[in-house]
Amino acid sequence: MIRFGSADREMKSMSNEDIFSSRLKLLIIMAKAYLKDCPTGKYRKQAIIENARFVFYHSLKLSSEIVAIKNDDSKIQPGTASTGDMHEEYIFHQRTQLLAVMAKSLAEGRLKGQLRKKALQDNLNRICETLIFNFRIKDVNFLKVA
């Protein structure tokens, strides 16, 4: 059998952060589909709830780690992330948790009304801005050549 793709030794195993990122992006896509009045069937609702649960608890874990590091100033090494960066990351995880709660409520049919949809859209926009900005930063480091 012919095998295509990269060799096993070239692949890294998926970490929880990789899974979190993928599930968060899927949750964003599903929430945007809801805002564009795409139908949400039984299986999509179930997928939204499962992804929202994972994203919420993983983001909660990450934000509590940030708080723990912030409270213990001795752990902050010189030259690492600044307090401002940590604050932005904490806010990002708070927004992610809010998205997970809103996504679960939309899957359960409780997200009704224009103001709630507008709040969902605003939260999605802020999360997407953060993700795009972080992605570009990683791209710049990746594309630097001697």
84 in any annotated domain: yes
Give residue 81's pLDDT: 56
How does residue 9 score in pLDDT terms, banded at 50, 70 and 90?
low
CA distance 27 to 51: 7
Is residue 76 over pLDDT 80?
no
How does residue 79 score in pLDDT terms, banded at 50, 70 and 90?
low
CATH number of domain containing 94 = 1.20.120
45 in any annotated domain: yes
In 3D, which of 22, 28, 19 has the Cα closest to residue 123? Answer: 28
49 in any annotated domain: yes
Give residue 69's pLDDT: 85
52 in any annotated domain: yes
What is the pTM (predicted TM-score) of this model?
0.79
CA distance 116 to 65: 30
Structure tokens at 107: 């899957």
Is residue 127 over pLDDT 60?
yes
Mean pLDDT of the chain: 84
Domain housing 34:
16-143
79 in any annotated domain: yes
122 in any annotated domain: yes
10 in any annotated domain: no
Q: Are 27 and 48 in contact (CB under 8 A)?
A: yes
Is residue 145 over pLDDT 50?
no
Percent of the chain whose pLDDT exceeds 70: 77
11 in any annotated domain: no
Q: How many domains does the chain have?
A: 1
Is residue 24 over pLDDT 50?
yes
